[in-house]
């Protein structure tokens, strides 16, 4: 299949590097880069949220409104 592409400078440089190193044509170098991108498996480190023990709460938080009033004062709303 024939098509026209506009290549970014860094992509063109990668294609030219493959062509020089392997002595292949433009189409073969482009196909090689595309195949490598399609088969690349990105392994990412699983996300882990860091937690810290903050000790016992200094304010009773079972009643949120009361806790806010204690911390912010009676004019919080």
On whether residue 20 sits in a domain, the answer given is yes
Task: Decide if 27 is inside a domain.
Answer: yes
pTM over 0.85? The answer is no
Is residue 55 in a domain?
no
Tokens of 13: 């440089």
Contact call for residues 15 and 28 (beta carbons, < 8 A): no
Does residue 56 form part of some domain? Answer: no
Buried b (16+ CB within 10 A) or exposed e, 29-42: bbebeeeeeeeeee
- Give the helix/strand (H/E) hosting 33: helix 26-39
In a domain, 28, yes or no: yes
Position 24 in a domain = yes
Structure confidence by residue, pLDDT tens digits, 32-58:
999 988 887 778 889 999 999 988 888
Helix (H, G, I), strand (E, B) or coil at 12: helix
Q: How many domains does the chain have?
A: 1
Range of the domain at 34: 9-39
Is residue 14 in some structural domain?
yes
CA distance 26 to 29: 5
């Amino acid at each position: 299949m024939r098509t026209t592409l506009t290549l970014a400078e860094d992509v063109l440089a990668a294609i030219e590097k493959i062509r020089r190193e392997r002595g292949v044509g433009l189409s073969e170098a482009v196909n090689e880069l595309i195949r490598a991108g399609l088969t690349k498996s990105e392994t990412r480190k699983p996300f882990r949220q860091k937690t810290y023990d903050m000790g016992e709460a200094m304010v009773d938080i079972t009643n949120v409104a009361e806790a806010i009033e204690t911390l912010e004062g009676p004019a919080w709303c």
